[in-house]
Each structure stands twice: as structure tokens, then as C-alpha cells.
């Protein structure tokens, strides 16, 4: 069995656990060689209402039109391929919105790693009601990147006319001739944000000061695509939206002390520092678990003095996870806004977090990363097995996606207009 074949076995097993924070990685040298020497499916696929379409044509044949529905690849129905790839995707609660979003970003990578690496692809397509078959060559990643830029059919309108695209992870926009602001948060990671010359807490402080000075009545917060980040940033943002004290997490617990895989992994905290577990820091439950006595996310958080009291509209999608889904669950649980978009990939009621360990398998050198604490936000059993669900579920068509229509934002603006 090759390393790649063994990785598929391990990945399918870890995927059944349903923990978005768990990850498996190929040995670094193998992964590097594959990214350089590997050949990939030369189209970006996007999913709309359960069907897959060509969003970018990165092949050597620029005449193949974007927007074509992909019916089969090498005589295999795309629906069957999609369901097979789903088996290798790690997500909280098996949430399909996350899986479709992830494949829309990384179909070629998943196909290469978990389905096959053919030299050629025979693709059955349907465009404008007519079926056709195209035969295209598998390409290395560098050639795919070049073709993505070269093929002019890939140049689509990709942003709202109201909101200019920003390279920064944090951005604030005030809509013209209105009392509405849009706060975009692409990620909650302090390291990533600092790398782009921003500081999360300082930016949020100045944002809400300006919102107050401008007398903004409606705030649209866009966290679509936000996979999470640094613990505490979601609750810091929420402290500007509430007028009541709250806690982000009710409890954090371990199943055992010491951890059964301690000899295999150096367990680290969220900053990457190796730690040890001491029983005196925990309270043992009647079920035999160990609950942490003190941790920042367990503390009661007070609302900010100049917290926002206007209307809040939160845009979410299937990629929202970890710290971002924690923020979305706070907004939903405390009824502090209207949620628009898709069910989040991250769990509503909690996830794993706080502390992580790496297991390196001795022969294959595969790495398995896992967080060790079970965190529970609200102890709400009715929300135990799902993500944060929107109040308004939006289904974009392939035409919407190709033309750059932002139906989530449009819905928020319509709700604001009708509320006047």
C-alpha cells in the first residue's frame, strides 16, 4: 500500500468522527513533490443547488464555456464522484454546506488526492441545453494557474457594486446615502490579521466608535468564508453587539488525564506551546470526565460601553467554522441579529478546541492533528448535531455566481429597506 492509499484509509476514518478541527496531512516531502509533479483536473468546479458547473476553465482549450454543467468525468457521473469525495472531508456533524463549499474551492485537489490521477479527462458537459464531450489533458498546478489568468472567459464580476474588494482581512464600508455599514471579517486569526498590518481588537474598537459617530442604524456583518481563528475574537466582537453580560463557553472537558495518546504527541496550547495536564486544574464529573476550572473563554464577558443597539444582519455560509461559527451561534442564541445565507460548517453548540496535539504515525509519517478539549457553548441538546442555521436560506444559481450577484447581501438590503 502506498502512502497516498494509506492516507485515504486514515482520512476516511477521521472523517467519520465529525470534528472540523481534526486534520490529516501527508508527509511534507511527499506533499511538496505532488504539488510540483502532480497532474490535476483543469477546471474549477462550483456547485449550485447540488449540481456542479465549470466556474473557471483552466484547460488548454479556452473554447470550453464557463457555466457548463459537468455531467460525467471519465464516464463517472459527477454526483457519484462528489459523494465519494465527501467521505474524505472532515467537518463538524457531516454538514453538506461545508462539503459543497470546500469542493467549490478545491475540487481538483480532492480529485487528485482521493479519486484518481489520470493523464486525460473525458468530460461530458451540458451548456445552453446541449450536451457535448470534451477531452482535456491533466495539467500541473503552475500551468493551471497560468491558464486561469489567460482564459478571458474566467474574468467575471466578483464583487458588489456597493462594496469594493479589499485585500485586508478586516474592512468596513459605509453604503452611500444610507445609515447602513458593512463589516467584513474574512478570518479571526490574530497572526494572519497582524501579517496584513491590522490588529483585531484595535480595528473593532475603532469600527464601532466610527459607527456610533456616524449614527449608523443597520450593521451588516459578513463572515462568509471565515474558517475561524484565534479564541476570544468572536466574543470580543459580540461584546459590541449586546447590552448584557454573557459567556462564550459553558464548559470545557477532557475524557481522561493523562491523555491516552500522550506518549505519541506533544500536546500544545493554541499558541503552540507544549503543556501538561494537572488534575488539580480540573473538576471530575459524575460521568468521569474532567472539566477545566478556569480558561479565558469560560469567563463572563461584559458588554462594551458603546455597544451597537441598531439592527444586525449576519451573512454566513458553509465555510464558517470554529471561532467564526462560535460568533454566529452567539448572534443566533441571544437573538441579536438576522442570519442570512447557508448553514455553517462549524457546530452550533460547541466543538473541540483550546489545546491540540500532533500524532505522527511511525511508518507512513502521516500526521494527524486534533484538539483535545470538548467545548460546550450553550448545552442546548436541540442544536447538538447541526451548524448555525440562517433565518433566510439563500440558493444562488450558476448564473448568479457567474455574474457576481450577491444574493445574501441583496437580501439584507431588502430587509433593511422594508423595515423602514
pLDDT per residue as tens digits for the range 290-306: 999 988 888 999 999 99
Least confident stretch, 48-62, 302-316, 366-380, 385-399: 366-380
Task: Assign domain 170-419 to its CATH superfamily.
Answer: 2-enoyl-CoA Hydratase; Chain A, domain 1 (3.90.226.10)
Per-residue confidence band for 324, with pLDDT thresholds at 50, 70 and 90: very high
Q: What is the pLDDT of residue 238?
A: 98
With H, G, I as helix, E, B as strand and everything else as coil, classify residue 69. Answer: strand
Per-residue confidence band for 58, with pLDDT thresholds at 50, 70 and 90: very high
First to last CA, the chain: 64
pLDDT of 239 over the 90 cut = yes
Least confident stretch, 31-45, 97-111, 182-196, 370-384: 370-384
Helix (H) or strand (E) holding 338: strand 338-341
pLDDT of 381 over the 70 cut = no
Between 268 and 294, the more confident residue is 294
Q: What is the pLDDT of residue 156?
A: 61
Q: What is the pLDDT of residue 277?
A: 79
Question: Widest CA span of the chain, in angstroms?
Answer: 69
Least confident stretch, 42-56, 134-148, 377-391: 377-391
pLDDT per residue as tens digits for the range 118-155: 999 999 999 999 999 999 999 999 999 999 988 877 66
Query: How much is the pTM?
Result: 0.93
Per-residue confidence band for 344, with pLDDT thresholds at 50, 70 and 90: very high
With H, G, I as helix, E, B as strand and everything else as coil, classify residue 29. Answer: helix
pLDDT of 94 over the 90 cut = no
Q: Yes or no: say if 134 and 54 are a contact pair by the CB < 8 Å rule.
A: no
Query: What backbone torsions phi and psi does residue 193 show, to the nearest 5 degrees?
Result: -65, -45
Residue 207: all three cell numbers together: 469600527
The fold for domain 37-154 equals Pdz3 Domain (2.30.42)
Q: What is the pLDDT of residue 270?
A: 58
How many angstroms separate the Cα of 93 from the Cα of each of 134, 194, 248, 351, 383?
37, 32, 20, 10, 11
Same fold, 37-154 and 170-419: no
Residue ranges per domain, the chain? 37-154, 170-419
pLDDT of 161 over the 60 cut = no
Per-residue confidence band for 233, with pLDDT thresholds at 50, 70 and 90: very high
Burial of 367 (C-beta count, 10 Å sphere; 0-12/13-18/19+)? middle
State the average pLDDT over residues 234-240: 97
Amino acid at each position: 500500500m502506498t502512502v497516498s492509499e494509506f492516507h485515504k484509509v486514515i482520512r476516511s476514518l477521521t472523517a467519520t468522527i465529525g470534528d472540523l478541527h481534526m486534520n490529516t496531512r501527508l508527509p511534507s516531502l511527499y506533499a511538496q513533490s505532488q504539488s510540483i509533479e502532480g497532474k490535476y483536473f483543469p477546471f474549477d468546479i462550483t456547485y449550485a443547488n447540488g449540481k456542479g458547473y465549470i466556474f473557471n476553465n483552466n484547460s488548454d482549450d479556452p473554447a470550453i464555456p464557463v457555466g457548463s454543467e459537468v455531467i460525467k468525468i471519465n464516464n463517472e457521473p459527477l454526483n457519484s464522484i462528489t459523494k465519494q469525495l465527501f467521505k474524505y472531508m472532515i467537518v463538524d456533524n457531516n454538514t453538506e454546506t461545508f462539503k459543497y463549499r470546500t469542493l467549490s474551492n478545491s475540487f481538483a485537489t480532492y480529485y487528485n488526492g482521493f479519486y484518481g490521477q489520470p493523464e486525460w479527462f473525458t468530460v461530458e458537459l451540458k451548456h445552453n441545453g446541449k450536451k457535448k464531450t470534451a477531452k482535456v489533458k491533466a495539467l500541473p498546478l503552475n500551468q493551471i494557474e497560468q491558464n486561469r489568468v489567460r482564459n478571458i472567459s474566467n474574468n467575471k464580476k466578483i464583487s458588489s457594486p456597493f462594496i469594493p474588494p479589499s485585500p485586508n482581512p478586516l474592512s468596513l464600508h459605509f453604503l452611500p446615502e444610507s445609515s447602513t455599514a458593512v463589516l467584513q471579517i474574512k478570518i479571526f486569526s490574530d497572526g494572519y490579521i497582524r501579517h496584513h498590518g491590522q490588529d483585531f481588537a484595535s480595528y473593532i474598537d475603532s469600527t464601532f466608535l466610527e459607527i456610533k459617530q456616524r449614527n449608523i442604524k443597520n450593521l451588516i456583518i459578513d463572515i462568509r468564508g471565515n474558517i475561524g481563528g484565534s479564541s476570544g475574537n468572536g466574543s470580543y466582537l459580540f461584546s459590541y453587539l449586546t447590552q448584557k453580560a454573557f459567556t462564550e463557553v459553558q464548559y470545557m472537558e477532557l475524557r481522561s488525564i493523562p491523555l491516552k495518546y500522550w506518549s505519541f504527541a506533544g500536546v500544545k496550547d493554541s499558541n503552540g506551546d507544549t503543556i501538561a495536564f494537572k488534575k488539580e486544574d480540573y473538576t471530575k464529573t459524575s460521568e468521569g470526565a474532567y472539566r477545566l476550572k478556569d480558561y479565558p473563554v469560560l469567563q463572563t464577558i461584559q458588554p462594551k460601553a458603546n455597544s451597537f443597539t441598531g439592527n444586525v444582519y449576519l451573512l454566513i455560509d458553509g465555510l464558517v467554522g470554529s471561532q467564526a461559527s462560535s460568533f454566529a451561534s452567539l448572534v443566533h442564541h441571544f437573538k441579536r441579529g438576522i442570519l442570512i445565507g447557508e448553514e455553517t460548517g462549524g457546530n452550533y453548540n460547541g466543538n473541540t478546541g483550546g489545546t491540540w496535539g500532533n500524532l505522527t504515525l511511525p511508518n507512513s509519517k502521516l500526521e494527524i492533528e486534533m484538539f483535545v478539549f470538548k467545548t460546550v457553548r450553550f448545552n442546548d441538546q436541540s442544536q447538538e448535531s447541526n451548524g448555525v442555521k440562517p433565518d433566510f436560506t439563500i440558493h444562488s444559481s450558476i448564473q448568479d455566481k457567474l455574474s457576481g450577484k450577491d444574493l445574501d447581501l441583496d437580501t439584507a438590503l431588502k430587509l433593511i429597506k422594508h423595515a423602514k
